[in-house]
Amino acid sequence: MKKILLSSFTIIFFLVNSFSQQVVFSVESPSIIAGDYDFTISSDAQVAATWNSPDMSDTANAVMDTLMFVEDGTPGLNAQGNPISQEGCDSLINDLTGKIAVIYRNTCQFGTKSLNAQNAGAVAVIIINREPGTLLMNGGDDGLNVNIPVVFIDNISGTTIVNEMANGPVVAFIGTRYFANNLTINSSDIIRPRAASTPASFAQDNTEYDVQIGSWVVNAGTDSTNAILNAKITFGGTTLYDVPSASTPLLPGDSAYFALPTFSQASYSPGMYNITYSVDTTGDEFIADNEISQDFHISPTKFSNVPLDSNENMVLTPYYRPSGATGSVTMCAAFQDPNASRMAAMGMSFAAVVDGGDLTNRYFSISASEWNDVFTDLDDPAADILQLNTVSVGEFTFPNDSAYQEVYVPFVPPVALFDNQRYLFCVNTFDTDVYIGFDNSIDYNQNVNEVYKQPIYAVENNGNWSINSFGTDVTAGVSVELTTNLNVQEDELFSIDAYPNPANNVVTIPLKGYLGKGSLNIMDVTGKIISTSTVNVNNLMTVDVTNISNGNYIFDLNLEDGRSTKFNIVISK
């Protein structure tokens, strides 16, 4: 069945689906921590082929039991302060029969530790991340021998559950439940802003910037019901858009697409906006899947397809590299704008991590390239990456292990942009154990496949390029710093080689040939300004960092002659 209905608020498309129930991970008891938790699972479509885990959308495979830590007898604590014995990398010495095993992530493969738990009698596995966020688990060498469900949760959720386990039994549920009344909206089914952060110079009014609004709604319940979709956009506590659809009947298993009016403003103030889709929860028996929310920015200077925090920094997880990559690996953000010439690209930010090691002395290069393949959208057979013209580069060597922390690298020279020209802004490594930061908090599926149909990111693996190849539910963690100062070739300071780096008490910044004043902002990795000062320069300048804590910092230097630069300094005492 497929039909189109018109109303004053919405255009609705209907499509009959088979039941699409929501797989959940929830704590059933005690009540103090009961509820649903974010997770990934071994039966996720992207990694299911690396496991032999059951299909958890089948209610017959649901698991509910008491949690229990694994124990393999290995002495000592890991870097996070947790017992190494509870990483489960060796054969277990405790009996997990009928229990859901709890395991810390660290050094060995997901499949290996899960198989050890299965061999000890566990009916399911929960792996706790060692840092914020979740990722998709590849089963590795032993995954195909694991026939129980394996769940992965973030470290904050893990801490909540582990702390309660110390007080008594914790019971969890993994699987699918049927509900009579259960309307659902999925992350992959909503239209999102074209980019998570758009520079204000490209969004001056409603002729230059708007957001199409729409989403699928699924009746995942067993009863017929009426669906009302609502979309709300707020800025600084003020509601700018709050539009409901008409009430529309949905049979069990039906899906309906609701197209609401486009959001547009006569002008846009810079700052953080929020868009929230929700479906009416009246009588809904499972409300965890009734709302999806995303922050997006109109920024003075930053372009990003990855959501930014309130300080306009990326919060990245997971970290990826192409499977089996043995040579060059490049991760890029795609960019194109009809008013691009209003700004110039100064540099870009990314984050990385080393598997089982650290980033000290690891070398990365960045590049800005004109993407000259001519195509209309991703439905065009000509959509490919065959013609790249690199217009600027930069390089960065990590002075210490700044794993998971965003670093900024300037382009040398800055990049004058052209209207409607496609660009790729990229970070590259040749190290086979380095992983680049991505974001998995939003899914661009509707944007990419149904609405705008434009590239979000690109990946290069040993000379072979691909577009959005890891899927639309992850996005390359690259943000680009831009400026409206179009004399950047003259005004940018190049080749600043501050020393020592890492620094202890004093940082020396050589500025040969300059005599005068300037201003210096020192920012931490969250973008918070730690120090602001007026500086006097006579060919070089010195900065006292005695009172600044150890960490990674961005120095933002602006001279009174109009020149400026940003560079990274590590403080280590």
Determine the average pLDDT of the residues in 207-223. Answer: 95
Q: Strand pairing partners for 216? A: 257
pLDDT on residue 5? 28
Residue 92 has pLDDT above 50, yes or no: yes
Rounded Cα–Cα distance for residues 413 and 390 (Å): 12
Question: With the C-alpha atoms ordered 194, 199, 200, 204, is the resulting torsion angle positive or negative?
Answer: negative
Residue 525 phi, psi (nearest 5): -70, -15
For the ranges 223-237, 243-257, 384-398, 514-528, the lowest mean pLDDT is seen at 514-528
Question: With the C-alpha atoms ordered 178, 179, 185, 187, is the resulting torsion angle positive or negative?
Answer: negative
- Give me the numbers of helices (H) and strands (E) for the chain, helices first please: 4, 38
Rounded Cα–Cα distance for residues 325 and 310 (Å): 35
Determine the average pLDDT of the residues in 517-543. Answer: 83
For the ranges 235-239, 314-318, 380-384, 489-493, the lowest mean pLDDT is seen at 489-493
pLDDT on residue 540? 79
pLDDT on residue 287? 83
pLDDT on residue 388? 95
pLDDT on residue 570? 85
Residue 409, CA distances (Å) to 50, 406, 458 in order: 37, 10, 19
Q: Strand pairing partners for 457? A: 333
User: Where residue 330 falls among pLDDT bands split at 50, 70, 90?
Assistant: very high
Over the stretch 423-442, which tens digit does the pLDDT of each residue have? 999 999 999 999 999 998 89
pLDDT on residue 8? 26
Provide the whole-model pTM. Answer: 0.75
Residue 550 has pLDDT above 60, yes or no: yes
Residue 492 has pLDDT above 80, yes or no: no
Over the stretch 151-188, which tens digit does the pLDDT of each residue have? 999 999 999 999 999 999 999 999 988 889 999 999 99
Residue 455, CA distances (Å) to 100, 103, 336, 385, 468 in order: 41, 38, 10, 11, 7
- Region of 89 please: left (phi>0), alpha (psi -120 to 50) or beta: alpha
Determine the average pLDDT of the residues in 334-346. Answer: 96
What are the residues whose beta carbons fall under 8 Å from the beta carbon of 491, sequence distance 6 or more? 485, 562, 563, 564
pLDDT on residue 21? 58
Determine the average pLDDT of the residues in 515-540. Answer: 82
pLDDT on residue 1? 23
pLDDT on residue 493? 58
User: Where residue 2 falls among pLDDT bands split at 50, 70, 90?
Assistant: very low
Determine the average pLDDT of the residues in 360-373. Answer: 95
User: What is the number of other CB atoms lying within 10 angstroms of the CB of residue 253?
Assistant: 16
pLDDT on residue 517? 83
pLDDT on residue 381? 96
Determine the average pLDDT of the residues in 59-70. Answer: 94
Rounded Cα–Cα distance for residues 396 and 567 (Å): 10
Q: Which segment, 173-187, 253-267, 351-365, 387-401, is predicted with the most confidence on average? A: 253-267
To the nearest whole number, what is the mean pLDDT of the chain? 89
Determine the average pLDDT of the residues in 2-6. Answer: 26
Q: Which segment, 15-24, 261-270, 433-442, 557-566, is predicted with the most confidence on average? A: 261-270
Residue 15 has pLDDT above 80, yes or no: no
Q: What angle do CA 434, 435, 436 make, to 5 degrees?
A: 125
